[in-house]
């Protein structure tokens, strides 16, 4: 037999002699076409219905009619609304639906939250976050202590793979950013120093800025967006797939098996990447110096004369702490992510924001300490 032709559902509000009429036509089925509504639904119940062209229907049509009837004001005599014109089977469904009073408590109404309650909830969230960070930091230190005493268990192959991801595979983006930072510092410095005939001191400006601040900070920010986000996404996916629970079931400590190798790898690689970024940034400044008439040999000699061992070690010293912060932020957000793909994305975003914020705060603290110590 040929399939029955389907017609699009339509509801038309009209008036006939002052009476409100609702004409219903087409097939009203769940999963079918979206019903078309002609005319604006008035704040009163229809006096009668026109259903001559009504096709098949399921609960979609009674739900539509019932939602309108319950949205209008009840008559003063508390009489039932008219159901004239509806098919007998539909009229029976509507009689049953109207006989049951609506549960007002079932409606989703927005909670009226006072400003004091909002402030209290924010304070509780902040305190819970501080407790979570403190607990995670303590567990990471315990895992590090187990590693020092030879009691930590993780696969060496995983560790070296993470070292490769944090180190060699990060060189291209670190090279590009550091080179451009060196160029920018040299260009800006030369514009000002050339007015005083002191273009040679561009070497001092670029060298000091790179080894003290820009090299380590830019490398840390790059690693936050690249490696820290990868840590959060990887661990978050493992948590969503219940792989971390499986590790616990088999007797593996997730901190030893997942967090510790990432923490060690990034702490080891950050000083090397910082030294590399410093060298690339100085090389970029040297190219600008050569372009404005400073011989490369003279530029290099001026850089070496300006930067002593203490100054060169400041950025490397800070990079160890930055690496630990990046790794712990990524792992923390990944381990505490929800069990859905959307939660993994949110955890990745939080990891990047938290690590960059912590880097800037730590760098400000180091700057104040170095100033007090006259370094």
Other beta carbons within 10 angstroms of residue 161's beta carbon come to: 13
User: Is residue 232 included in any domain, yes or no?
Assistant: yes
Q: Same domain for 294 and 203?
A: yes
Q: How far apart are CA 178 and CA 357, in angstroms?
A: 20
Contacting residues for 92 by C-beta, under 8 A, at least 6 apart: none
Would you say residue 351 has pLDDT above 80?
yes
User: Is residue 95 included in any domain, yes or no?
Assistant: yes
* Cβ pair 30, 60 in contact under 8 A: yes
Reported in sequence order, the residue ranges of the chain that DSSP labels E, i.e. its strands, are 10-16, 19-28, 36-38, 48-50, 54-57
- Predicted confidence band of residue 10 (pLDDT cuts 50, 70, 90): confident
User: Is residue 122 included in any domain, yes or no?
Assistant: no
User: Is residue 116 included in any domain, yes or no?
Assistant: no
Mean pLDDT over each residue of the chain, to the nearest integer? 85
Q: Same domain for 171 and 316?
A: yes
Domains in the chain, number: 2
Predicted confidence at residue 26, as pLDDT, reads 85
Q: Say which range, 15-24, 197-206, 223-232, 281-290, has the weakest mean pLDDT.
A: 15-24
Q: Same domain for 19 and 86?
A: yes
Q: What angle do CA 144, 146, 147 make, to 5 degrees?
A: 65
Report the percentage of the chain scoring pLDDT > 70. Answer: 93
Q: Same domain for 209 and 156?
A: yes
Predicted confidence at residue 143, as pLDDT, reads 84
Instruction: State the sign of the Cα–Cα–Cα–Cα dihedral 22, 23, 27, 32.
Output: negative
User: Is residue 243 included in any domain, yes or no?
Assistant: yes
Q: Same domain for 281 and 194?
A: yes
The domain in which residue 76 lies consists of 10-106
Predicted confidence at residue 183, as pLDDT, reads 93
Q: Same domain for 70 and 153?
A: no
Q: Same domain for 81 and 180?
A: no
Would you say residue 266 has pLDDT above 90?
yes
Q: How far apart are CA 84 and CA 255, in angstroms?
A: 70
Q: Say which range, 2-11, 50-59, 301-310, 335-344, has the weakest mean pLDDT.
A: 2-11
Q: Same domain for 75 and 151?
A: no
Would you say residue 110 has pLDDT above 70?
no
Q: How far apart are CA 155 and CA 139, in angstroms?
A: 19
**Which of 22-31, 222-231, 235-244 is most confident?**
222-231
Q: Same domain for 219 and 330?
A: yes
User: Is residue 127 included in any domain, yes or no?
Assistant: no
């Amino acid at each position: 037999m040929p399939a029955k032709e389907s017609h699009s559902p339509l509801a038309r509000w009209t008036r006939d002699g002052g009476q409100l009429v609702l004409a219903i036509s087409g097939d009203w089925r769940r999963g079918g076409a979206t019903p078309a509504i002609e005319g604006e639904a008035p704040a009163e119940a229809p006096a009668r219905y026109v259903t001559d062209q009504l096709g098949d229907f399921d609960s979609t049509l009674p739900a539509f009619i019932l939602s309108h009837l319950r949205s209008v004001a009840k008559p003063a005599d508390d009489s039932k609304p008219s159901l004239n014109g509806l098919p007998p089977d539909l009229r029976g469904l509507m009689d049953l639906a109207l006989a049951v009073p609506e549960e007002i408590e079932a409606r989703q109404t927005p909670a009226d939250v006072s400003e004091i309650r909002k402030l209290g909830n924010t304070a509780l969230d902040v305190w819970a976050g501080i407790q979570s960070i403190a607990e995670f930091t303590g567990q990471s230190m315990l895992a590090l202590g187990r590693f020092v005493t030879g009691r930590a268990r993780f696969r060496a192959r995983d560790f070296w793979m993470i070292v490769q991801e944090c180190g060699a595979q990060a060189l291209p983006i670190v090279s590009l950013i550091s080179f451009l930072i060196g160029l920018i510092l040299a260009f800006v410095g030369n514009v000002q120093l050339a007015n005083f005939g002191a273009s040679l001191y561009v070497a001092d400006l670029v060298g000091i800025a790179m080894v003290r601040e820009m090299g380590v900070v830019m490398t840390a920010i790059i690693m936050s967006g690249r490696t820290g986000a990868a840590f959060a996404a990887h661990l978050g996916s493992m948590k969503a797939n219940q792989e971390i629970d499986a590790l616990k079931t088999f007797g593996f400590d997730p901190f030893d098996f997942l967090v510790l190798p990432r923490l060690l790898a990034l702490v080891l690689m950050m000083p090397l990447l910082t030294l590399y970024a410093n060298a690339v940034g100085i090389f970029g400044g040297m190219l600008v110096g050569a372009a404005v008439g400073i011989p490369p040999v003279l530029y290099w000699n001026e850089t070496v004369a300006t930067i002593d061992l203490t100054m060169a070690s400041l950025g490397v010293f800070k990079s160890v702490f930055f690496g630990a912060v990046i790794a712990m932020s990524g792992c923390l957000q990944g381990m505490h992510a929800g069990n859905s793909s959307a939660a993994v994305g949110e955890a990745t975003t939080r990891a990047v924001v938290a690590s960059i914020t912590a880097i800037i705060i730590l760098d400000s603290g180091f700057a104040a300490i170095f100033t007090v110590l006259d370094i």
